[in-house]
């Protein structure tokens, strides 16, 4: 404010807007001296004003430059490691594994569509938006909070908020924050592929759980809004768009959430070794500290993890995604350990580290190959031959497709596609960063509203179309098909590279 007032005063003076005043009576000599002084000022005032104007400009430019430098320094300042540091909030929110909310993951290859190329086909596979805890977890969290209230009278300094905290989270449903994520995602898809979306509507499927169906519907709202806002789109809009729902029922072939491999279901309970080892390494000190601050609660290591879970779930229960107080109970390093704990669970439970996880994703990959090539589906695993054999329920002539599923099922599909084949097995005795894991972590791969884009494009100078895949805006260089510097393969080479899916994975081992 002081600087602004000074600037205005100086600018007024430079412009000749000096204050008016009434001369007091005086003797003639004094009056004559004043006239001589005024004459000198009149002769030199133009030069004086010009010099002062230059000085003022230099001052403003210098101040503005300094302010920009300071603001830039603030925005790029690294996280100090303390959770209360505002520079750490983003890092914390991106360290919750599958409970993180989707964001544009760092990519060594530009995710932009190459200038010399035109996208001719786009498929999105998307996880539902942010939700409340699952039913059994929500009950466990509520019971834990009740027990703390019943047993603790002396709360530690940072834990005092728990005394008045009321557990009000629901179960399994999308939060308002999650609904908006999906609307935003529909807008994003339209904007990215608007050359196709202006004239073509996507064919949409959703796995049958309520939050997945609602996510698909919210996504269509965003797509529809973007089309209405596009002044270059003149195609009659058929909103609301039809969503084909695939039931999540025993015995129903559903490639978006398969449940037809008994051996896989059994093996999920035998894949926790590395995750258990990590818990033993990092969680006991946290449990000890939490119990010191909640005397009488006697939390177990599992319940300490529940306390950490309450951070992301209370955050996404806030319509604006404001960080919950639970998030400040742990350090940034501890959140990175938590993120790795979740990554181990996804890797060995459903991804490359699972003996039959990749086989679960084979059916969807074979459907994708059919869409990319315009040829009928060839598969004997989880596909539904009745649906996939009908033009109305599995068209092959569309250019835009949108499917909606769950994080675990997307992990299976990533593994079937071989997206993380360069990632070494994750160790349970030390933390491996996403960069060290060649782009894999649960928060990078399957956060709330995670999205996989599969693009087919024609490019100048090439006779064959290219295929490219992005996970949360990170280009995943394709494997075993001669990928170029942009991570792409020709369509024919990509189809050849998917021999694992085309041969049915290890489906024969599902019933051993």
Residues with active-site annotation? 128
Give, in degrees to the nearest 5, the angle at Cα 92 between 88 and 95.
145
Residues 354, 360: Cα–Cα separation, whole Å: 10
Q: Hey, CA dihedral for 362, 363, 366, 367, is it positive or negative?
A: negative
Residues 216, 128: Cα–Cα separation, whole Å: 8
Q: Report helix, strand or coil for 303.
A: helix
Residues 232, 198: Cα–Cα separation, whole Å: 7
Count of Cβ atoms closer than 10 Å to residue 8 Cβ: 10
Q: Report helix, strand or coil for 469.
A: strand
R_g of the chain computed on alpha carbons: 31
Count of Cβ atoms closer than 10 Å to residue 492 Cβ: 13
Residues 221, 198: Cα–Cα separation, whole Å: 15
Q: Which of 412, 471, 484 is nearest to 438 (CA)?
A: 471
Tell me which H or E stretch contains 466. strand 466-471
For 196-301, strand residue ranges (E) read: 203-207, 243-246
Tell me the Ramachandran region of residue 290: left when phi exceeds 0, alpha when psi lies from -120 to 50, beta otherwise. Answer: alpha
- Answer whether 212's CB lies under 8 Å from 404's CB: yes
Q: Give me 22's structure tokens.
A: 């009434």
Residues 140, 133: Cα–Cα separation, whole Å: 10
Residues 512, 508: Cα–Cα separation, whole Å: 7
Tell me which H or E stretch contains 490. strand 489-490
Q: Hey, CA dihedral for 59, 65, 68, 69, is it positive or negative?
A: negative
Distances (CA, A) of 337 to 91, 277, 323, 340, 430: 13, 12, 18, 5, 9
């Amino acid at each position: 404010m002081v600087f602004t007032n000074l600037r205005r005063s100086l600018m007024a003076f430079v412009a000749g807007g000096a204050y008016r005043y009434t001369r007091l009576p005086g003797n003639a000599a004094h009056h004559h001296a004043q006239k001589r002084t005024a004459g000198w000022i009149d002769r030199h005032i133009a030069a004086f004003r010009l010099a002062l104007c230059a000085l003022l400009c230099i001052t403003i430019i210098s101040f503005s430059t300094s302010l920009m430098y300071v603001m830039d320094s603030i925005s790029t300042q690294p996280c100090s490691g303390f959770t209360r540091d505002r520079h750490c909030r983003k890092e914390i929110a991106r360290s919750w594994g599958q409970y993180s909310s989707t964001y544009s993951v760092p990519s060594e290859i530009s995710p932009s569509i190459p200038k010399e190329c035109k996208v001719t086909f786009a498929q999105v596979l998307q996880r539902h938006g942010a939700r409340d805890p699952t039913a059994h977890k929500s009950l466990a969290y509520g019971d834990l909070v009740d027990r703390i209230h019943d047993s603790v009278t002396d709360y530690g300094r940072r834990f005092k908020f728990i005394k008045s905290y009321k557990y009000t989270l629901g179960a399994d449903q999308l939060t308002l924050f999650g609904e908006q994520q999906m609307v935003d995602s529909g807008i994003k898809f339209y904007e990215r592929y608007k050359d196709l979306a202006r004239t073509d509507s996507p064919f949409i499927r959703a796995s049958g759980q309520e939050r997945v169906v609602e996510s698909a519907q919210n996504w269509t709202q965003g797509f529809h809004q973007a089309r209405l806002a596009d002044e270059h789109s003149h195609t009659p809009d058929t909103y609301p768009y039809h969503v084909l729902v695939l039931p999540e029922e025993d015995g129903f072939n559903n490639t978006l959430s398969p449940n037809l491999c008994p051996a896989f279901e059994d093996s999920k309970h035998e894949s926790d070794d590395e995750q258990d080892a990590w818990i033993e390494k990092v969680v006991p000190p946290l449990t000890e500290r939490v119990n010191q601050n909640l005397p009488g609660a006697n939390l177990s290591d599992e319940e300490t993890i529940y306390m950490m879970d309450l951070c992301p779930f209370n955050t996404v229960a806030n319509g604006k995604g404001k960080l919950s107080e639970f998030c400040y109970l742990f350090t940034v390093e501890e959140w990175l350990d938590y993120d790795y704990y979740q990554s181990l669970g996804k890797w060995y439970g459903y991804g490359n580290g699972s003996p039959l996880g990749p086989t679960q994703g084979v059916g969807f990959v074979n459907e994708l190959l059919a869409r990319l090539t315009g040829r009928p589906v060839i598969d004997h695993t989880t596909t539904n031959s009745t649906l996939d054999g009908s033009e109305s329920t599995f068209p092959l002539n569309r250019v835009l497709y949108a499917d909606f599923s769950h994080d675990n099922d997307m992990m299976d599909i990533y593994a079937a596609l071989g997206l993380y084949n360069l990632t070494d097995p994750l160790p349970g005795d030390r933390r491996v960063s996403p960069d060290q894991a060649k782009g894999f972590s649960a928060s990078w791969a399957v956060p709330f509203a995670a999205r996989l884009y599969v693009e087919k494009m024609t490019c100048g100078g090439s006779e064959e179309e290219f295929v490219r895949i992005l996970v949360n805006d990170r280009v995943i260089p394709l494997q075993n098909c001669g990928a170029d510097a942009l991570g792409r393969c020709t369509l024919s080479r990509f189809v050849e590279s998917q021999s694992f899916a085309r041969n049915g994975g290890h489906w024969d081992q599902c019933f051993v």
